[in-house]
Structure 1
Amino acid sequence: MSDAAGKKRCLFGTDGVRDIANRGAMTPEMALRLGRAYVLFLTERGFPRPKIVVGRDTRRSGAMLEAALIAGMTSAGADVVCVGVTPTPGVSFGVELLRAQGGAVISASHNPAEYNGIKFLDNSGSKLSDDSELAIEEYLGDNLIDDWRPSGGSIGKVEHRESDFNSSYVERVRVSLGEEGLGSLKVVFDCANGAASTVLPDVLSSLTDGGNFEIIGASPDGLNINEKSGVMSMKGLSERVVQAGYDIGIAYDGDADRVLLVDGKGRPLDGDIILWVLGRWLKGKGSLGAGIVTTVMSNMALDKHMAESGIKTFRCPVGDRYVLQSMKDNGSSLGGEQSGHVIAFPYTKTGDGICTGFLFIRACIEIKEDIQTLVDRFGRFPQKLTNIAVNSKTDIMKDDNILAAVDEASRILGDSGRIFLRPSGTEPIVRLLVECEDLELVESLSRSIEEKITSLVVN
């Protein structure tokens, strides 16, 4: 990935630094150096002796990387507040609550348990920009990172808030959402054996009065995060909803910044449908702003429905940081991704799966939305997303034959559809999206380009 100045980012992807824990870019040694580099970044931008909030998800490797990251930060002169296992939006809230100058989350989000990652937040609790992450990468190659050695009272302190922090985050969620809960809806929640399991029971007890709900995927053991549960495996949630007669199912990812839903028939309700509902709800309240923001991956049916409701749609690159920036640039109060990252001002300042799920329920109740017919009425355009494993994402994205094939497919689709090829920011794959109202054309174009990419990988 490159920034506006053309400098290449090698370490950071679309959601921080991520790799198999204790290997590659996610060793304790790298975590320590990242912690030092982040502190130097903050210090040279006007935050001497910064305070940094650090949280993590439920992975076994989290404590190992947390210790190394905190050692790096304190050795560079930062004070650290350790909040333990908490959702990513909890760390974002902690930056604001504790008036910190930054935050760090140790999580690999939706990836399997053997992975882990580190993502940094700014002093507002938002994810860092591309330029800021590039600057941190540059510190890693600077001698200053090794020469900067505070001593005595200049070494940073560590404050542990693991025992009480989550109760503060739960209260923040309650205040953001008001007293509304589940209404008469019957709901099952899937915590993906991740960070949501540490806070959701208390959120529910604070928002509902004996509501009809069930929680699954809430027994983390350090190795089962995202395993056959959560947003990455919706089958179990769908089956439970249908089997037990629930009205809706709500699933989170490992760090609870994403949410996806299923209706009473077990059918997925993705981020596009969530935005469709929340957009109309917020417009009716007069608090939507200029429109909604979504990424290039969202289905074209969303644009159609928003236009029918008199709501403008703004498109941006994939990544919730880009969604947030576009919201600010365009004066929008709602933005999100098809994958379930949703930001809704003033309720949330970052992707918050827990808040978003409850906002969706409130919106459906207030605008009298029929949850069970949303899938039928949305009528998404046929869309095929293919993840293709590659040896070099850069080589694929620069190959003349691949680029020519994509251009030709785009010419064939014209205004009736679109094609999009991009490298994953977190995995060794490229993602191919083909979309139009003609399903046979979607399949043929997708298959043709996938075969060209695969032949390059094999050769």
Structure 2
Amino acid sequence: MSKQYFGTDGIRGTVGQSPITPDFILHLGHTVGRLLRADGAPKTVLIGKDTRISGYMLESALESGFNSAGVDVVLLGPVPTPAVAHLTRAVRADLGVVISASHNPFADNGIKFFSAQGSKLPDEWELQVEQGLAQPPCWVESEGLGKARRMGDAAGRYIEFCKSTFPQALSLKGLRLVVDAANGAAYQCAPQVFHELGAEVHCIGVTPDGYNINQGVGATAPAALIAKVREVGADYGIALDGDADRLQMVDGSGRLFNGDELLYLMVRDRLEQGEAVAGVVGTLMTNMAIEQALAQLGVPLLRAKVGDRYVLEALMQKGWLLGGESSGHLLALDRHTTGDGIVSALQVLQRVVRSGQRIADALAQVPLFPQVMRNVRMVDRNGWQQHARFQACMREAEAALAGKGRLLVRASGTEPVLRVMAEASDAQLAQHWVEQLAQALQ
């Protein structure tokens, strides 16, 4: 059975259009609540949200849905996605729910879920939910309805958790930082974490109005951060996305560092502290230069499908701790159960403090390979697998790139396009083969 509603990171879409409508979200909460209550035991769910105006409406619908199934609800208010994961585990709740569309514009919203252990739930669970959505509601009697309350100190609890992931013996004193919270869920938490650890903090993206989340700020729009870093003469800038599970960083010169580079630094820090790193999980998009640099450190890279949930699944299967995506979703499973932009930034900054080495200097010997991508529109996005001319061109490209780069071809999961990507130490070589492959399809 294929999934109708769940994508790679929960359910997401434009507010007011199916499925992001109040009636569907109420039905979703009711359905998930019934699944939770299948054993008859009392259950409690935490609900957090980002700063979108639609969060009020969807929060009320979810609350009603869970209550109608006999599930108690604890409302956290605007907090980062990883805060919901942490608090679900910390207070022994049965499920965590986040109302957020992450880096999308304010008109979108979505719902994602965390298990009692603070980790994302598997495909099998999502299929169970979708099967339940096909059934009519079964409201509990009045005496069995769930209750709702607010957790007044949710942000404060999460701030203390983030600080606890940074070594007690270290301090951020002497560092001038710019923190960009994308006018999103971390607008209160993120500046306080870095300030309380000793840094001089300047902020942008901390004045949400319900409509300006990710608007010209945040991890997907780093130009504002780069400008502010230069303006105040900061050492580093930290950019989060709307729900604060993604991280990008820049240095004082305005150089941007992506998730691949930051993951490499996290590995270097562990090794320099004498810790063993059995392996690292990246994705199909992880830059080949990082794979080669890790190999030189004696650390293998395993590639998972694109999506932090698949990185997490691979880490759990291998028993490894570190993984991430170039987009900035980074995982350190001995610090948190899910991707966390603030915690990831602290993992990078602890190496800066310990080593006294600038990030750019640490990465000087790891220049990223240029990546060239083309989206080729196709009626049948899986037809390339039987396309003789394209397959022949692929074999030529793979032979030409052997030892110097790599080729990645994958169908989009959401659009009728085929994504063709080549990367190589020689940008012209990558460009040539992407063009050849695109022409072969046309």
What is aligned with 2:52?
59
What is aligned with 1:372?
360
How far off is 1:370 after superposition?
Answer: 2.4
How far off is 1:431 after superposition?
Answer: 4.2
1:295 aligns with 2:276: no
1:32 aligns with 2:21: no
How far off is 1:347 after superposition?
Answer: 1.4
How far off is 1:432 after superposition?
Answer: 3.6
What is aligned with 1:262?
250
What is aligned with 1:350?
338
What is aligned with 1:305?
293
How far off is 1:375 after superposition?
Answer: 5.1
How far off is 1:286 after superposition?
Answer: 4.1
1:412 aligns with 2:397: yes
**Residues 233 and 437 from structure 1, CA distance in 2 versus in 1: closer, same or farther, beyond 3 angstroms?**
same
What is aligned with 2:86?
93
Report if aligned partners of 1:288, 1:332 keep a CA contact under 8 Å in 2.
no
**Residues 42 and 423 from structure 1, CA distance in 2 versus in 1: closer, same or farther, beyond 3 angstroms?**
farther
What is aligned with 2:204?
216
What is the identity, as a one-letter code, of the residue corresponding to 1:49? P
Report if aligned partners of 1:264, 1:372 keep a CA contact under 8 Å in 2.
no
**Residues 274 and 236 from structure 1, CA distance in 2 versus in 1: closer, same or farther, beyond 3 angstroms?**
same
Q: What TM-score do the two structures reach when normalised by structure 1?
A: 0.89
What is the identity, as a one-letter code, of the residue corresponding to 2:291? D
**What is the DSSP-based 3-state SS (H/G/I as helix, E as strand, rest coil) of the residue aligned with 1:214?**
strand
Aligned mates of 2:175, 2:315 — CA distance in 1: 31
Report if aligned partners of 1:420, 1:433 keep a CA contact under 8 Å in 2.
yes
What is the identity, as a one-letter code, of the residue corresponding to 1:297? M
How far off is 1:159 after superposition?
Answer: 1.4
How far off is 1:167 after superposition?
Answer: 0.6
Report if aligned partners of 1:279, 1:288 keep a CA contact under 8 Å in 2.
no
**What is the DSSP-based 3-state SS (H/G/I as helix, E as strand, rest coil) of the residue aligned with 1:41?**
helix
Question: 1:184-228: per-residue Cα shift (whole Å, max 9, x none)?
Answer: 2221111111011021232133211xx322111111111110111
Aligned mates of 2:234, 2:135 — CA distance in 1: 56
**What is the DSSP-based 3-state SS (H/G/I as helix, E as strand, rest coil) of the residue aligned with 1:26?**
coil
What is the identity, as a one-letter code, of the residue corresponding to 1:446? V
Report if aligned partners of 1:297, 1:338 keep a CA contact under 8 Å in 2.
yes
Aligned mates of 1:405, 1:77 — CA distance in 2: 55
Aligned mates of 1:40, 1:119 — CA distance in 2: 17
What is aligned with 2:174?
184
**What is the DSSP-based 3-state SS (H/G/I as helix, E as strand, rest coil) of the residue aligned with 1:54?**
strand
Report if aligned partners of 1:288, 1:334 keep a CA contact under 8 Å in 2.
no
How far off is 1:130 after superposition?
Answer: 1.2
1:336 aligns with 2:324: yes
What is the identity, as a one-letter code, of the residue corresponding to 2:245? D
What is aligned with 2:139?
149
What is aligned with 1:4?
none
What is aligned with 1:198?
188
1:175 aligns with 2:164: yes
Report if aligned partners of 1:277, 1:364 keep a CA contact under 8 Å in 2.
no
How far off is 1:19 after superposition?
Answer: 0.4
Aligned mates of 2:6, 2:82 — CA distance in 1: 20
Question: 1:346-403: per-residue Cα shift (whole Å, max 9, x none)?
Answer: 2121100011111101112223432233554321112124456x697xx313455669
What is the identity, as a one-letter code, of the residue corresponding to 1:113? F
What is aligned with 1:118?
111
Question: 1:146-184: per-residue Cα shift (whole Å, max 9, x none)?
Answer: 2x21112211111111x3111111111122224444242
How far off is 1:76 after superposition?
Answer: 1.1
Aligned mates of 1:230, 1:74 — CA distance in 2: 35
**Residues 245 and 430 from structure 1, CA distance in 2 versus in 1: closer, same or farther, beyond 3 angstroms?**
farther
Question: 1:308-333: per-residue Cα shift (whole Å, max 9, x none)?
Answer: 11112121111111111211211211
Q: Which is worse superposed, 410-419 or 310-319?
A: 410-419
Aligned mates of 1:225, 1:136 — CA distance in 2: 29
Aligned mates of 1:403, 1:318 — CA distance in 2: 27
Match of 1:244 among 232, 237, 249: 232
Aligned mates of 1:26, 1:403 — CA distance in 2: 41
Structure 2 unmatched ranges of 5 or more: none
Q: What TM-score do the two structures reach when normalised by structure 2?
A: 0.92
Report if aligned partners of 2:75, 2:148 keep a CA contact under 8 Å in 1.
yes
What is the identity, as a one-letter code, of the residue corresponding to 1:397? N
Q: Percent identity?
A: 36
Aligned mates of 2:173, 2:320 — CA distance in 1: 28
Q: Which is worse superposed, 216-225 or 46-55?
A: 46-55
Question: 1:87-142: per-residue Cα shift (whole Å, max 9, x none)?
Answer: 00000011112201111100000111111000111111111111111111111112
Q: Which is worse superposed, 442-451 or 82-91?
A: 442-451
Report if aligned partners of 2:393, 2:437 keep a CA contact under 8 Å in 1.
no
Report if aligned partners of 1:47, 1:101 keep a CA contact under 8 Å in 2.
no
What is the identity, as a one-letter code, of the residue corresponding to 2:234? Y
How far off is 1:244 after superposition?
Answer: 2.8
1:73 aligns with 2:66: yes
Aligned mates of 1:276, 1:431 — CA distance in 2: 26
**What is the DSSP-based 3-state SS (H/G/I as helix, E as strand, rest coil) of the residue aligned with 1:224?**
coil
What is the identity, as a one-letter code, of the residue corresponding to 2:390? A
What is aligned with 1:253?
241
Structure 1 unmatched ranges of 5 or more: 1-6
Aligned mates of 2:340, 2:405 — CA distance in 1: 31
How far off is 1:48 after superposition?
Answer: 3.1
What is the identity, as a one-letter code, of the residue corresponding to 2:334? P
**What is the DSSP-based 3-state SS (H/G/I as helix, E as strand, rest coil) of the residue aligned with 2:165?**
helix
What is aligned with 1:42?
36
Question: 1:30-84: per-residue Cα shift (whole Å, max 9, x none)?
Answer: 111111221223233x473321111000001111111111111111111111101
CA-based RMSD: 2.3
What is aligned with 2:129?
136
**What is the DSSP-based 3-state SS (H/G/I as helix, E as strand, rest coil) of the residue aligned with 1:306?**
helix
